[in-house]
Amino acid sequence: MRVLVIGSGAREHALLLALRRDPQVEQLAVAPGNAGTAAIAEQYDVDISSGPAVVALAQRLASDLVVVGPEVPLVLGVADALRAAGIACFGPSKDAARIEGSKAFAKDVMAAAGVRTAASEIVDNPANLDAALNRFGPPAGQAAWVVKDDGLAAGKGVVVTADRDVARAHAAGLLDSGHPVLLESFLDGPEVSLFCVVDGETVVPLLPAQDFKRVGDNDSGPNTGGMGAYTPLPWLPAQVLTQIVDEIVKPVAAEMVSRGSAFSGLLYAGLAITSAGPSVVEFNCRFGDPETQAVLSLLESPLGQLLNAAATGTLASFEELRWRDGAAVTVVVAAENYPGRPRVGDVITGSEADGVLHAGTARREDGAVVSTGGRVLSVVGTGADLDGARTAAYTALKSIKLPGSHFRTDIGLAAAEGRISL
Ligand code: GLY
């Protein structure tokens, strides 16, 4: 199988590493990739948000399967263009990708499927903002205001705050730039990311993971695209996982089919386990970053065959997934000032070790690896348990040098110390 992966993050680096372990994968290509993925896949620089450009590349490479990593090409219809050209694609259609591309659409699907999610209200007129804020947030007995960009925002369009002025300023800023705002009630409880390979009504869950969205230890500072993750979740009972699949993901997949927007690809359920049970924070239409880096490091089943089964309509008969015992932790190394405008162009050393996945990196003409974005590397450690995985990840991190960089020191710590309970 010749596989082309679309994207340039550590998620795509993890996908390529797992695809490389599949004996049926004989050729790996990536577009556009980064300095790390160049070592394991042929690299092509095309405009990945253009359907015709991706189709032309896949045809040139005679790709049997294209795996689309990021949400933007999916929301723009790149998977549709590939399928129209007769090329198997792992990733949903533009229509189905609205589950991530429009929070209003996702809320509508969830309401129709009877799935528990935060109460919400769309505000698209600044004149309605103050009254809407008064209906949400602490005065109504909640812990905080949750203010989201209705469209795609790479994880950074969300502000969760107990300060009304901060909530108002964020919402007003979004409205000023023409973006509708989603106000939501705050969901209290530990968060779970559950990735499911989905084809129509067939749902195959991967290991549950938890990611860390705030930039600083103990969940301090602003939201980011994700600063680390661990899997599996020792505090999540198996019956809650079954409940998430049976009462949330399967009904949503069925609802998408019944509206003629069948989902084929990776359906990512972001949930909070509240006192009333699992409740959806968001759905995404692709693998999550950085959870994928941890989850795929434990996958023993052949990833290329799994994704190809979803892309070609044979997922229902795929073998039961096999996983390595133990745990995995990924820690993101971020550039100075991230999640603000990151400093770029710094030389990185120690990034070529096993378990170091690249995101915002490029190779300079003199051969040096340099930083090119906010999230620069993901360091993955595995071990017999979370303690062992944390030790492996944080030990590997000591060999990496990137001036001005920062990372969280508490990824997976509360779970390892048994401090998360339902
Ligand atoms: N882990 C957050 C995301 O991928 O959106």
* Pick from 159-173, 230-244, 351-365: least confident: 159-173
* Pick from 79-83, 152-156, 271-275: least confident: 152-156
The mean pLDDT value for 275-280 works out to 93
Q: Closest Cα partner for 95 from 110, 74, 68?
A: 74
Residue 59: pLDDT above 90? yes
Residue 156: pLDDT above 60? no
How high is the pLDDT of residue 153? Answer: 65
Residue nearest to atom 5 of ligand 1 (CA): 288
Residue 121's pLDDT band, with cuts at 50, 70 and 90, is confident
Domains of the chain: 2-93 (3.40.50.20), 120-184 (3.30.1490.20), 189-317 (3.30.470.20), 327-416 (3.90.600.10)
Question: What atom of ligand 1 comes closest to residue 282's alpha carbon?
Answer: 5
Q: How far lies 257's CA from each of 67, 199, 202, 262, 268, in Å? A: 21, 10, 11, 4, 17
- The phi and psi torsions of 111 (rounded to 5 degrees) equal -60, -45
Residue 152: pLDDT above 90? no
Question: What atom of ligand 1 comes closest to residue 290's alpha carbon?
Answer: 1
Ligand 1 and 282: CB distance under 6 A: no
The mean pLDDT value for 44-48 works out to 97
Longest dimension (CA), the chain: 59
Q: Closest Cα partner for 70 from 179, 152, 182?
A: 152
How high is the pLDDT of residue 138? Answer: 65
* Pick from 100-114, 248-262, 325-339, 365-379: least confident: 100-114
Ligand 1 and 155: CB distance under 6 A: yes
The mean pLDDT value for 358-364 works out to 97
- Among 192, 284, 292, residue to substitute to test ligand 1 (most atoms within 8 Å of Cβ): 284
Name residue, tokens 């129709």: 112
How do residues 216-227 score in pLDDT, each as one tens digit? 999 999 989 999
Residue 178's pLDDT band, with cuts at 50, 70 and 90, is confident
Residue nearest to atom 4 of ligand 1 (CA): 288
* Pick from 25-29, 96-100, 137-141: least confident: 137-141
Q: How far, in Å, CA of 131 to CA of 128, rounded?
A: 6
Ligand 1 and 284: CB distance under 6 A: yes
How high is the pLDDT of residue 301? Answer: 98
How do residues 184-207 score in pLDDT, each as one tens digit? 888 889 999 999 999 999 999 999
